[in-house]
């Protein structure tokens, strides 16, 4: 079975003449049976179902009918309504194959765009850090050359100037991660609301790691979704506490360190409707993706 199990469903599907013929014979029950069948096809490797007794039995369980009813229904979908094709052993839908091929092509294009965007961000970061280091080195040399020529009063003024420069630097850094700081505060508020107590204290180094982790989540959202990353993270945090209250997390304490675990926040984002299946599950084994989508 495939890890990614969602597929495009046209809003006008019920208006298709073949579907109308099916509904005319089987009623809305037949319409439901059809989409159960399509869902199973979409979840299978290569979008094909083998027409085996155990498959028919499983479909009968899903459709709430007898295996003989499934056999008759599938035969009608092949021969009478021309909704399915068969080679005698397997069944498939040409329409579904076309939709899934277009979807996979779109995913490949989006994945490549995300890879290029990540590379550009990384290259830009390296350039910025290199330039910043060059400017710091130049500034240190200038300060070393000037300091011996200044008296204590001048040094005090230089220190004050340095403090102003540092303040701007710190201010710039804060502005760069302002949304991460806001998200962290939002998490702590929801933690207190959900648990009735304050979040465990964190050190300055831990705070820096937390902000960096939240920024990584923002970057991940920007790569895979069109919605506002800040609103998306808010929804993900809300889902996190909702799942904790329901016992789905199986954790005694819903701390921010637990939330930042890639497998945890990805699943919460998926359940909140923020990201799609392919951004959560490994296509090879169905496991939840970890750091960096691996």
CATH no. for residue 54?
1.10.10
Residue 18 lies in a domain: yes
Structure confidence at residue 42 (pLDDT): 86
In angstroms, the CA 280 to CA 43 distance is: 16
Q: Is there a contact between 290 and 267 (Cβ–Cβ < 8 Å)?
A: no
In angstroms, the CA 280 to CA 144 distance is: 53
Residue 47 lies in a domain: yes
Residue 37 lies in a domain: yes
In angstroms, the CA 278 to CA 135 distance is: 43
In angstroms, the CA 268 to CA 242 distance is: 9
Structure confidence at residue 152 (pLDDT): 44
Q: Which residues of the chain have pLDDT under 70?
A: 1-15, 103-104, 106-176, 224-227, 277-294
Residues 84 and 188 in one domain: no
Residues 183 and 88 in one domain: no
| Span 144-171, pLDDT tens digits | 544 444 444 444 444 444 443 333 344 4
pTM above 0.75, yes or no: no
Structure confidence at residue 133 (pLDDT): 62
Q: Which structural domain range is residue 58 located in?
A: 13-92
CB pairs under 8 A, 24+ apart, for 121-129?
121/219
Of 92, 114, 147, which residue sits at a domain end?
92
Structure confidence at residue 113 (pLDDT): 62
Based on the structure, what is the number of domains in the chain?
2
């Amino acid at each position: 079975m495939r890890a990614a199990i969602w597929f495009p469903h046209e809003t006008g599907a019920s208006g298709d003449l073949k579907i109308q013929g099916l509904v005319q014979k089987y009623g809305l029950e037949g319409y439901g049976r059809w989409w159960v069948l399509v869902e199973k096809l979409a979840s299978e490797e290569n979008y094909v179902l083998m027409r085996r007794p155990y498959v028919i039995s499983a479909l009968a369980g899903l459709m709430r009918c007898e295996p003989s009813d499934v056999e008759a229904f599938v035969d009608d979908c092949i021969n009478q309504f021309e909704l399915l094709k068969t080679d005698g052993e397997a069944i498939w839908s040409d329409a579904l194959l076309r939709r899934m091929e277009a979807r996979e092509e779109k995913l490949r294009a989006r994945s490549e765009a995300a890879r290029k965007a990540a590379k550009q961000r990384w290259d830009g970061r390296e350039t910025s850090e290199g330039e910043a280091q060059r400017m710091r080195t130049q500034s240190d040399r200038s300060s070393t050359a000037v300091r011996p020529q200044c008296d204590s009063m001048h040094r005090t003024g230089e220190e004050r100037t340095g403090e102003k420069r540092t303040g701007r630097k710190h201010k710039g850094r804060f502005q760069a991660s302002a949304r991460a700081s806001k998200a962290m505060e939002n998490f702590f508020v929801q933690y207190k609301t959900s648990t009735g107590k304050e979040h465990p204290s964190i050190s300055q180094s831990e705070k820096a790691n937390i902000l960096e982790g939240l920024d990584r989540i923002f970057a991940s959202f920007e790569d895979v979704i069109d919605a506002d990353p800040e609103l998306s993270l808010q929804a993900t945090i809300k889902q996190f506490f909702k799942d904790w209250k329901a016992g789905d997390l199986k954790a005694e304490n819903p701390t921010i360190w637990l939330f930042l675990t890639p497998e945890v926040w990805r699943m919460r984002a998926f359940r909140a409707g923020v990201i799609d299946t392919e951004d959560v599950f490994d296509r090879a084994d169905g496991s939840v993706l970890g750091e960096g989508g691996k």
